[in-house]
A = this chain, B = another copy of it.
Amino acid sequence: MTTKKLLIQGGTVVSDSDVAPYDIVIEGDHIAAHGLRGDFDPTSFDEVFDATGLLVLPGLVDPHVHFDAPFMGSKTVHDFHTGTASAAYGGITTVISFSTQPKGDSLLRNLEEHEQKANGQAYVDWSIHGILLDSSEQTLTEIPKLVEAGVPTYKCFTTYRHSDRLMDDDSMLQVLKTTAESGGMLMVHCENDAILEYRLQRELAQGNTSWIYHARSRPNSAENVAIQRVIDLMKEERAPVYIVHASTAESVRIIQKAQSEGDPIHCETCTHYLILTEDLLNTELGHLFICSPPLRTQRDIDALWRASRVGPIEVVSSDDAGLPSADRTRLGEGRFDKVPNGMPGVEPRLTMLYTEGVRKNRISLPRLVSLSASNPARLFGLFPQKGSLSPGSDADIVLFDPNIEWTMSAKTIHMNTDFCPFEGIDVFGKPKTVLCRGEVVIRDYELVGSPGHGRRVFRKLDSSFID
């Protein structure tokens, strides 16, 4: 059997450092060559994609989704089947989902179970992160095994005492030490739990239960303080750290200061923190916008865009964690503290970044590629297999039509939910064609891939990107 050869012709290729007009040759599952427009003879290819007027991007990497995850008495709307379908519609060819085990259970066994859930379901490639609930001997012993098994990143929480997920300073020091020894990277959800709990009880005592008090009881300071504490501990036991969903204007200054002192610290923000404000919590459907950290203010949004442009933000993820609207309403009981947290977002990410970022001149096209594809690939051990259009890289490619104008809505997208956080926003651009390892997943804006195509990707961190 011969290898299939494809040609992408006439497009404008966007890498994380360049925008240039050239053609791309795909052989089988990988990119084989680049050439000037017209260099390659179309007749010698099995299929030619006309990319005239389109942007040719590396397939996006979304390093922060929650698929098939039970949460606060509900369950996330996306499993690997529906989630990777939506991801493909959104130009994403690799997702990394979090794998939450029951307290005390083995990280490794959980990994296996997760693999079974994903098996035969995924339209695009995937991996998972571990989640650390403690620093028990079992946990510390399993971390190097996780790393060896291709899962070199895992998250812990500085909050959520009530669901027994809080990692205290003692444990974090142990985990940082093990991380440094194992070649892994620790991801941290940063909100100071004592401040949250103190505020929560105060608001409840005063009968403040409406949605907006979710934001009032989780102030910027709680996030800022928690990030500073992680840095304090990391200065004691130096290991790579990745701050998930930085959402405040101050957070990025704190992280930048640490970076400038040589600390191996990285951070992401999420699409919604760049676009939506806490004012949405003042509406009747405010409970659907509850997430943690909460939506912030325009001042924070401005600071996060700047940090996305010049650093220290290296990644914009979706933190896709939608929950059925009916569950949120029912379980919430009209009280902000009872609503299961989290919003869906895996599909709108590229279009929203293009519309709000590139079209509004806040980031350049190469920076969009850095934030959504190359940097997550580099930081999570996927580069240059993913996040790159160099010869030899996987043929994960998005042909993005930048000029199509449409309205973002739960009705116009394909996520498995009736709620879209960006409902009603007029947007630009949509993926026309998406290839994952040389196979067409989206063709003419529609899903044509097969659910068994996506495979787990083995990840291995590259210290030159992380340290």
Task: Kindly state the separation between the CA atoms of A22 and B24 in the bound complex, as whole angstroms.
Answer: 14
CB under 8 Å from chain B, chain A span 328-381: 364, 366, 374
Contact in complex: A22, B260 (CB < 8 Å): no
Q: Which residue of B lies closest to A225 (CB)?
A: B232
Complex CA distance for A256 and B262, rounded to whole angstroms: 13
What B residues does A150 contact at CB under 8 A? none
Docked-complex contact A22 and B392, CB < 8 angstroms:
yes
> Which single residue of chain B is at the shortest CB-CB distance from A34?
B34
Q: Are the C-beta atoms of A195 and B173 separated by less than 8 Å?
A: yes
What residues of B have a CB within 8 angstroms of the CB of A306 in the complex?
262
Known: A20-B391, A391-B20, A392-B21. A237 touches B198 (CB 8 A): yes
Mask, A222-244, CB within 8 Å of B = 1, is 00010011001101110000000
Closest to A25 in B: B35
Interface residues of A in 245-277 (CB under 8 A from B): 253, 256, 259-260, 262
A31-67 interface code vs B (CB 8 A; 1 in, 0 out): 0111110011000000000000000000000000000
A15 to B15 CA separation, bound complex (whole angstroms): 12
Chain B min CB distance to A196 (Å): 10
A105 at the interface (CB under 8 A from B): no
User: Given the known A-B contacts A35-B33, A39-B391, are A194 and B221 also in contact in the complex, defined by CB atoms under 8 Å?
Assistant: no
State whether B35 touches A32 (Cβ < 8 A). yes
- Would you give the shortest CB distance from A428 to chain B, in whole angstroms? 18
- Cross-chain contact A235 with B253 (CB below 8 angstroms): no
Q: Are A17 and B16 in contact (CB under 8 A)?
A: yes
A382-422 toward B: CB 8 Å interface, digit per residue (1/0)?
01100010111100000000000000000000000000000
Check: A169 CB closer than 8 A to any chain B CB.
Answer: yes
Q: Is A310 an interface residue, CB under 8 A from the partner?
A: yes
* CB within 8 Å of B: which A99-134 residues: none
Q: Is A168 an interface residue (CB 8 A)?
A: yes
| Residues of chain B contacted by A444 (CB below 8 angstroms) | none
A-B contact pairs, 11 of them (CB 8 A): A17-B374, A21-B392, A23-B391, A33-B36, A39-B391, A173-B198, A198-B236, A221-B232, A225-B232, A229-B229, A260-B310
Q: Which 8 A-B pairs have the closest CB atoms?
A: A169-B194, A33-B35, A34-B34, A22-B391, A364-B464, A225-B232, A173-B198, A36-B391
